[in-house]
Amino acid sequence: MTATTASEATLTPLRRLLILITVVLATTLYGTTLLVVSTILPQMQGSFSATADEIAWAMTFNILATAIVTPMTGWLAARFGTRTTMVWSVAGFTLATLMCGIAESLESLVFWRILQGGFGAPSTPLAQSILLDSFPKHQHAMVLGLYGFGVVIGPVIGPTLGGQMAELYTWRYAFYALVPVGIAAVVGLQFSLRPDGDRRTAYFDWLGFISLSVALGATQLVLARGQRLDWFDAREIIVETIVAVIAFWIFATHCLTTSRPFLNPRQLLNRNYSIGLLLVTIYGMLNFTPMVLLPPLLTGPAGYTDSLVGIVIAGRGVGGCIGFLFAGFANRMDARLSMMIGFGMLLVAGIWLTRIDLNVSYAELAANALLQGLAIGLIWVPLTTVTFSTVAREDMAEATAVYHLLRNLGSSFFISICVAEIVRSTTANYSRLVEALTPFNKLLSLPAVIGQWNIETAGGLAGLSREVARQATMIAYLNAFGLFTAACAVTLPLILLMRGRPIEAAKQ
């Protein structure tokens, strides 16, 4: 009897069921927070009197913290034990969620969002490991299906819950509502998971990890604050850039000279893996960006309610569920073809978004979000399969860590870039549009225009200013959606450079 089989035999069916329920609950809870914040961003922005780029920190720094801590999961489990790491991860995540609701300033909110992402990061990879270790092999397909459902259904629940809570009460209750679920998950995990066995010594490249973390954090600050501080005219941006460059130089030098680096550069010689890293970075860029950009646009210039925004964003999660379901059937075809279809659908969704205006209906936006979710779900399985098809088994742990790291970094960095473009473009568009507001513009003398705006009175000028600001903001968002569409188009030629799965791998 193998060690795994022996450990499985110590678990009763009832205990396995309890493990399944609590682990899927913890996974769903973490997935819920990914998009719950996107729905309540406008309310939080008003509560803290923050600008659009400042309130986006609540999303970007959470994703960045998740990206940095995720590669540590294996070391944490080996050093402290799987159950201990899982329980403390969900407990810390629940406490940080409560503190996010209590936060009285933007700085404290961002701080607790960073801790929320950092504490929650190990829960998703550990959940899969726990389920595979607790159930016999003939039940793995069923268990992983339920686990995948928890991962996907969280982003469906989050926007709907956030929108309803924000509309009925305040944005704080979107966080408070998750706390009892987190407490139940902690108690369930503590009593259902097996006690940790003997802890083993695990090697972790701390110098490589810390230098990379500093480089990524400094880069994120440059992207998040650069537009507001006028980029390199500000001393802060110059200092952060220097820190990022030095930290990355230390990381790169260390990886090339040490025998056991955090990231083995030899892995980049694997064509499928290196192209897969580029694709998963772009996948990360496309994953959550529209869901972060749309709520401020819809609740602001478009005049949507929070609950309607929640419905729009929930369409993304519904599409993801359908996409993952289709991915199981599409796995029989060439993975590159599946990826081409998925990224092609995202390209269509991006072009669709560049053609909307302030009169767009929530049904149209929900349909667009559904298409995006369908594409995202359809891409993930074949992309992961082809990327790791030529990676050696002994290199899989490190390769997987880097893969998920770049996916999260793509989301964090691209959101910051798009928000910076919106801030820049809104100001530039407003300046250009007001040039047309002169007594010599004959359009302003038309009967349909005179009834609403009048450049002869203060009230008329104020109304014109508001409308110009709305249109300038809309144009800025269209520019950001253009960046999204361009990123989609870049993926198509990259997919053609990959090799398909080997025949023997495809038959397994």
Predicted confidence (pLDDT) per residue in 434-467, tens digit = 887 777 777 767 666 655 666 667 777 777 888 8
d(CA 149, CA 131): 14
Residue 266: the pLDDT is 81
Shortest CA distance to 132 belongs to which of 145, 144, 146?
144
Residue 316: the pLDDT is 79
Reported confidence tier of residue 112, pLDDT bands at 50, 70, 90: very high
d(CA 186, CA 91): 6
Shortest CA distance to 400 belongs to which of 74, 4, 29, 65?
74
Residue 350: the pLDDT is 93
User: Tens digits of per-residue pLDDT, 361-394?
Assistant: 888 988 998 999 888 878 877 887 788 878 776 6
Reported confidence tier of residue 6, pLDDT bands at 50, 70, 90: very low
Residue 140: the pLDDT is 66
- Predicted TM-score of the model (pTM): 0.78
Reported confidence tier of residue 212, pLDDT bands at 50, 70, 90: confident
Residue 455: the pLDDT is 66
Residue with tokens 């990381």: 251
Residue 503 has pLDDT above 60, yes or no: no
Reported confidence tier of residue 507, pLDDT bands at 50, 70, 90: very low
Residue 502: the pLDDT is 45
User: Tens digits of per-residue pLDDT, 223-265?
Assistant: 878 877 878 888 989 999 999 999 999 998 988 888 878 777 8
Specify the higher pLDDT residue, 11 or 205: 205
Instruction: Label residue 303 left, alpha or beta by phi (over 0 means left) and psi (-120 to 50 means alpha).
Output: left
User: Tens digits of per-residue pLDDT, 34-63?
Assistant: 667 777 877 888 888 887 778 878 877 888
Residue 55: the pLDDT is 81
DSSP three-state, residue 503? helix
Q: What is the mean pLDDT of the chain?
A: 81
Cα 36 from chain centre? 11
d(CA 346, CA 96): 34
User: Tens digits of per-residue pLDDT, 17-40?
Assistant: 888 888 888 878 877 776 677 778
Q: How many Å is the Cα radius of gyration of the chain? A: 24
